[in-house]
Amino acid sequence: MEVTDIGNKEEGKVWHRKPTPGRSVLVTVVRTAQQNKTVRFLHVAFDTTGDSFLAGDHHGNIYLFDISRNRFRLVQKTGQACTALAFSLRRTTEFLVALADYTIKCFDKDTKQLVSWMRGHEGAVSSISVHSSGRYAITTSSDTAQLWDLDTFQRKRKLNIRQSVGIQRVFFLPLSNTILSCFSDDSIFAWESDTLFCKYQLPVPDSGPRISYKAFAVTRDGKSLAAGGRSNLLHLWCLDSQRLLRVIQMPAQVRTVRQLEFLPDSFDGGANQTLGVLSQDGAMRFINIHTCRLLFHMGSADEAVGAVAVGPNGRHIAAIMDNGSINVYSVQSLTQELNKPPPSQVAVVSGGEADQNLSGIKMKVKSEGVQRPARSSGRRTQVKMLRAPAASSAEDKENELPAGLNKKRLVALLKAFGEFPAKYRMFVWRSLLCLPENHAAYSSLTDKGLHSAFLTLHDQYPIKSHKLQRGLQRVLSALAHWAAIFAEVEYLPLVAFPFVKLFQNNPMLCFEVVATVIVNWCQHWFEYFPNPPLNILSMAENVLAHHDQELLQHLVDCGVTSQLYVWPLLETLFSEVTTRDEWLRLFDNVFSNHPSFLLMACVAYVISCREPLLLCSQKKDFEYFFHHRNNLDVGAMIKEAYRIAGSTPADIHPRTMLSDFTALTSGQYPVFNQYPEFIVEYQSRERERIRLQEMEYLKERQELSALRADFVRRQAEEKAYYAQQELLQKAEEHRRNILAQEEDKLAQQRTKLAAMKRELKVRELHLLDATRRRFLKHQQEQQASQIHRLDQEISRKMDLREQETAAAVQDLEVRQMELEAQRKRLEQDLLKEQERVGRAVEEEVLLKMREAERADESYSELLHSAESNLQALEESLAEAYQLGLESDWQREVLERLQRVDAEQERKRERLAQLQRQTLAEEGRLAHTVREVAGRKWDDVMSSRAQLQEQRLASSAAETGERQRKVESAGPSGGLLHRPAASVAAKGVNTATGGGSSTTQRQGGANMVCLNSSSPSGSSSTNFSLDRGRAHLDSSERELLKEIRELRQKLAARAREGSSASSPSVHALSSVPQ
């Protein structure tokens, strides 16, 4: 027994050494994972052919094992353990698997793709049953059963039950539309699958112990049901009559039945007779349900069987063992003892002396009890008294067949029953044909592979079954390798096909049967190759002429030759005109007689169809008649063939021209050269030449097809390209049109907007013109009112001047008298005043110098505060740099600081220049003050001289006039001082100590303007000095403002740079303003 460990392989061979014939266990499949842990297989399921099966392990891996091809492969990884498996009968590549999460999935074993996913169960699915049509499936769990449509994968029906009654199993009956449901209370109901109408209920047996059904099995024809459970009793039901046929009691070792399976047989017509019973002890016993005999068993206490699956063809059994492995059993090896023929029941005794009376010897023989399937009647073999044959020992030796059979007895049995038993037909044929079973010679032929003449056989003879197609190719290839002529014979597939279909499970026997038929029953067929065997056809025509001259004449009159009514029967071996059972019955007689019996059967077929043939007159009717089945009694035809074989004269009898039966030689097959070799060789050469030319032609045709396909593809691509370009062009034109329309609309809108703008502009111009006119009018009105006011003021002042003049004249007259009295005192006061003015001028010069010094000090303090601000700014920048600002920002800050330094330097230069200008102005002011003092002094002296001169002329008049000049000089000096004082106050409003200096300047100015005739010089000097200081203050304010803006920018940049630099920004903003 070979053990195959598939491990983690995804594909490979099932067995590496071909199993030995006769061994029951073909192979044991195990799967070990890491650390040598065995992965248990849980379920197996065969496909419809029976040559491959699915197996699922508890890791969720689904494997496909192909026994015929000796291959396995991993078809799916579900990731969870499966609870049931089943193939889809309609789409053979699809299978159903129930998983531990209560779902059912459908996969494709070739593409490994998920086809569908079905949900609906609330418990683990225990079984999946597929309808014979493959359209529906039933899934069963402990609480419900659901009917699915496999075309749409939708649920059609759901079976709900009471909680007290559980479901054991629900499944389809084979070859019918009936659903059988089995419940835990042993009730069994049958339902119509289309309407779900209850057809019947099987009655529960009243007598006997309760079995508690757990396992069920139905025969292939759907007529019998076997049920078992917690007992060693089995109930066998007839579903047609709904009654219990029998109760089968298993051996005492069986206490519980776990599984039941019927074993199919190729010749039982679906009425299976062998039932496999798996019990709690791990052994599966196969019994005959009619004889109740134990046939064979599988498994033991050491190798217990957990579950089994039987192939539909009955050739293999896949069993899951308790250790998690899979054993693949060969049913042929298990039933080898059953298929052996019974021992000979007739003993032939010959006398030792020549003169002994043989006819007086009698022997009583009893059949031995052999455990093998018997007839359903179960009757015992009767004891027969047989007389010893009177033939010679040579004839007895000739009639002896292998395995103890006798040809004469087989022929007698055949004539009595008309055919051999279906169960033993293959065995009888093997004995009659004396097949040598040359395994080595057949292997040498098959090792050469498929013959080139039959590579395209499926094109000429398409067969639905791929297995049958491959078997026919193998047999024909072996025949072609055996003899070259068989590669050229066109009708050879027709000859071999019935035997291939019959022996499809054993290709070697099929080959030997076909070779034996060709060697014996196809004698002289190939002498006229490639023409039909005219000699053989003439033999059949001579026999027909002897037995039915009228029918032959009718055929001749209709132009029908033996090539039309005999050759179609021979080249197909009657397979076209008979059914399977009729053909088997006919060849039971052909193999049991002389090779000439086949020709007699052809003549008998023609004579048996005499009446319809006489009614035919067209050649095509005859062709149709001999290529299709007709309503004919094969038994009558066989009897007619025997009659013709017995009544045909020896001169025209084919027996005289055909050799007797010759079996194939053992060890090596005989040489077959009964054909014109030169024709075959010529044809083979011509065929090879034609094949090479055809291959070359096919190659050229393939290249041409590739070029044509390439051209078509390019043409399609070009067409698609031009179509795409045309669509793109149309789309582009459409978009261009849309764009043009949009541009037109935009242009119109722009035109409207421009018009609106022009209109608004015109309105605005009109409004501005109206406003300007109103403003001009308002100004004219204001100017007119102002002129009017000025005129009124002038007139008023003129009136006032006249009044003042009159009052002054009067006052002068009074004061002339006073002036004369005060003249002396005034002279003294004037001297004192001159001295006081000189001292005041000196004090004012000193005051200006002090103010200049204070300006210098304020300038130095300003520079010091700027330097301190710059130092604080540098310290804040250094601190910001230390806090982690980036180098680019630091560089920018440094550049800004450099620019600030340069700007400060420029400011310093401007301040220095302003200081120099201020010093220069102060120097000019001092010089101007000295000049003004000198001029004032000169004016005073000149005024004194004029007073002295006027005193001499007219004391009274001069005194009054001088009094008026003094009174008029006082107001003018005040008027001149007020503008200068106001300008100085505006220039130094922010400076410290400006008030005192202003007061001193006012005093000095009053003193100067008291006796000065032109005071404009001093007022201009004071105004220029105050203007320089105001310019210095404004420059300082602008510098501080720029420094403040720079600090604000640096603080904003620091906030944007990083949150970590926020302290530095605060430090920058905290620098004193």
Q: Which 8-state DSSP code applies to residue 423?
A: T
For position 16, what pLDDT does the model report?
82
> At 450, which amino acid appears?
L
Residue 1067 has pLDDT above 50, yes or no: no
Q: State the SS3 of 603-641.
A: HHHHHHCHHHHHHCCCHHHHHHHCCCCCCCCHHHHHHHH
Contact 495, 525 (CB under 8 A): no
C-alpha 967/C-alpha 406 separation (Å) is 187
C-alpha 478/C-alpha 449 separation (Å) is 8
The residues, any chain, with a CB within 8 Å of residue 1069's CB and separated by 6 or more, are: 1047, 1048, 1051
**Count of other CB atoms within 10 angstroms of residue 404:** 13
Which band of pLDDT confidence, cut at 50, 70 and 90, is reported for residue 41? Answer: very high
Return the percentage of the chain with pLDDT > 70, whole number: 81
Which band of pLDDT confidence, cut at 50, 70 and 90, is reported for residue 194? Answer: confident
C-alpha 874/C-alpha 902 separation (Å) is 14
Report how far apart the first and last C-alpha atoms of the chain are (Å, whole number): 106
Q: Which 8-state DSSP code applies to residue 656?
A: G
C-alpha 778/C-alpha 559 separation (Å) is 142
Residue 611 has pLDDT above 70, yes or no: yes
C-alpha 74/C-alpha 55 separation (Å) is 10
**Count of other CB atoms within 10 angstroms of residue 671:** 9
> 3-class DSSP state for residue 1009?
helix
Question: Using one digit for the tens of pLDDT, what is the confidence trace for 753-793?
Answer: 999 999 999 999 999 999 989 999 998 998 888 888 888 88
C-alpha 776/C-alpha 938 separation (Å) is 53
Contact 480, 488 (CB under 8 A): no
For position 1027, what pLDDT does the model report?
52
C-alpha 605/C-alpha 626 separation (Å) is 10
- Residue with the bigger pLDDT between 891 and 683: it is 891
Q: Tell me the longest C-alpha to C-alpha distance in the chain.
A: 231
> At 594, which amino acid appears?
H
Average pLDDT of 655-665? Answer: 87
The residues, any chain, with a CB within 8 Å of residue 332's CB and separated by 6 or more, are: 315, 339
Q: Which 8-state DSSP code applies to residue 19?
A: P
CA 1019 to chain CA centroid, Å, is 102
Paired sense of beta strands 104-108 and 114-118, if any: antiparallel
Which band of pLDDT confidence, cut at 50, 70 and 90, is reported for residue 1026? Answer: low
The residues, any chain, with a CB within 8 Å of residue 182's CB and separated by 6 or more, are: 167, 168, 169, 170, 188, 213, 216, 227
The per-residue b/e assignment along 433-453, b for 16 or more CB within 10 angstroms, e otherwise, is bebbebeebbeebbeeebbeb
For position 603, what pLDDT does the model report?
92
Q: In the sheet that 294-298 helps form, which strands lie side by side, from edge to edge? A: 257-263, 274-279, 284-288, 294-298
For position 600, what pLDDT does the model report?
92
For position 226, what pLDDT does the model report?
92
C-alpha 319/C-alpha 1053 separation (Å) is 84
For position 107, what pLDDT does the model report?
92
For position 290, what pLDDT does the model report?
86
Contact 204, 229 (CB under 8 A): no
> 3-class DSSP state for residue 244?
strand
Q: In the sheet that 104-108 helps form, which strands lie side by side, from edge to edge? A: 82-87, 94-99, 104-108, 114-118
- Residue with the bigger pLDDT between 260 and 870: it is 260
Question: Using one digit for the tens of pLDDT, what is the confidence trace for 44-58?
Answer: 999 988 889 999 998
CA 985 to chain CA centroid, Å, is 93
Instruction: For the chain, give percent helix, strand, coil, nearest 5.
Output: 55, 15, 30
Return the percentage of the chain with pLDDT > 90, whole number: 16
Q: In the sheet that 144-149 helps form, which strands lie side by side, from edge to edge? A: 125-130, 136-141, 144-149, 154-160
Region of residue 112 (left: phi > 0; alpha: psi -120 to 50; beta: else): left
Residue 627 has pLDDT above 70, yes or no: yes
C-alpha 653/C-alpha 540 separation (Å) is 9
For position 881, what pLDDT does the model report?
63
C-alpha 1012/C-alpha 1004 separation (Å) is 12
For position 668, what pLDDT does the model report?
85
- Phi–psi pair at 262, nearest 5 degrees: -85, 140
Question: Using one digit for the tens of pLDDT, what is the confidence trace for 343-379?
Answer: 444 444 433 333 333 333 233 323 333 333 333 333 3
Residue 604 has pLDDT above 60, yes or no: yes
C-alpha 516/C-alpha 507 separation (Å) is 14
Contact 273, 373 (CB under 8 A): yes
Q: Round the CA-based radius of gyration of the chain to a whole number and report it.
A: 69
Question: Using one digit for the tens of pLDDT, what is the confidence trace for 293-303?
Answer: 888 888 888 88
For position 1015, what pLDDT does the model report?
38
C-alpha 592/C-alpha 642 separation (Å) is 12
What are the DSSP calls for 78-128, one per residue? -SS-EEEEEE-SSSTTEEEEEETTS-EEEEETTT--EEEEE---SS-EEEE
Region of residue 88 (left: phi > 0; alpha: psi -120 to 50; beta: else): beta
Average pLDDT of 134-161? Answer: 86
Q: Give the best-scoring range by mean pLDDT among 239-253, 261-275, 853-867, 871-885.
A: 239-253
Contact 268, 258 (CB under 8 A): no
Which residues, in sequence order, are bridge partners of residue 226? 217, 236
Residue 172 has pLDDT above 80, yes or no: yes
Q: State the SS3 of 800-815.
A: HHHHHHHHHHHHHHHH
Average pLDDT of 389-404? Answer: 48
- Phi–psi pair at 592, nearest 5 degrees: -90, -5
For position 371, what pLDDT does the model report?
38
> 326: which 2 tokens?
């899979």
Contact 97, 76 (CB under 8 A): yes
For position 986, what pLDDT does the model report?
37
Residue 101 has pLDDT above 80, yes or no: yes
> At 355, which amino acid appears?
D
For position 515, what pLDDT does the model report?
92
C-alpha 670/C-alpha 436 separation (Å) is 11
Q: Which 8-state DSSP code applies to residue 6?
A: -
**Count of other CB atoms within 10 angstroms of residue 991:** 17
Q: Taking Cα atoms as reference points, which of 641, 551, 549 lies closest to residue 600?
A: 641
Which band of pLDDT confidence, cut at 50, 70 and 90, is reported for residue 979? Answer: very low
Paired sense of beta strands 243-249 and 257-263, if any: unpaired
For position 693, what pLDDT does the model report?
86
Average pLDDT of 171-175? Answer: 88
Least confident of 116-130, 636-650, 807-821: 807-821
Paired sense of beta strands 316-321 and 41-46, if any: unpaired
C-alpha 299/C-alpha 296 separation (Å) is 10
- Residue with the bigger pLDDT between 408 and 353: it is 408
The residues, any chain, with a CB within 8 Å of residue 93's CB and separated by 6 or more, are: 108, 109, 110, 111
**Count of other CB atoms within 10 angstroms of residue 422:** 14
> 777: which 2 tokens?
């009018």
Average pLDDT of 956-972? Answer: 54
Distances in Å between the Cα of 927 and the Cα atoms of 560, 845, 921 are 166, 10, 10
Q: Taking Cα atoms as reference points, which of 365, 664, 619 lies closest to residue 512?
A: 664
Q: State the SS3 of 862-879.
A: HHHHHHHHHHHHHHHHHH
What are the DSSP calls for 817-840, one per residue? HHHHHHHHHHHHHHHHHHHHHHHH
> 835: which 2 tokens?
């001295």
Residue 1047 has pLDDT above 90, yes or no: no
Q: Taking Cα atoms as reference points, which of 260, 290, 292 lies closest to residue 276?
A: 260
C-alpha 846/C-alpha 380 separation (Å) is 170
For position 1018, what pLDDT does the model report?
42
Question: Using one digit for the tens of pLDDT, what is the confidence trace for 429-482?
Answer: 888 888 888 888 888 888 888 888 888 888 888 888 888 888 888 999 999 888
Question: Using one digit for the tens of pLDDT, what is the confidence trace for 487-540?
Answer: 878 888 988 999 998 888 888 889 999 999 998 998 888 877 778 888 888 999
- Residue with the bigger pLDDT between 743 and 816: it is 743
Residue 1009 has pLDDT above 50, yes or no: no
Average pLDDT of 229-246? Answer: 88
For position 163, what pLDDT does the model report?
63
C-alpha 1024/C-alpha 1027 separation (Å) is 5
For position 32, what pLDDT does the model report?
87
**Count of other CB atoms within 10 angstroms of residue 399:** 16
For position 267, what pLDDT does the model report?
66
- Residue with the bigger pLDDT between 408 and 757: it is 757
**Count of other CB atoms within 10 angstroms of residue 776:** 10
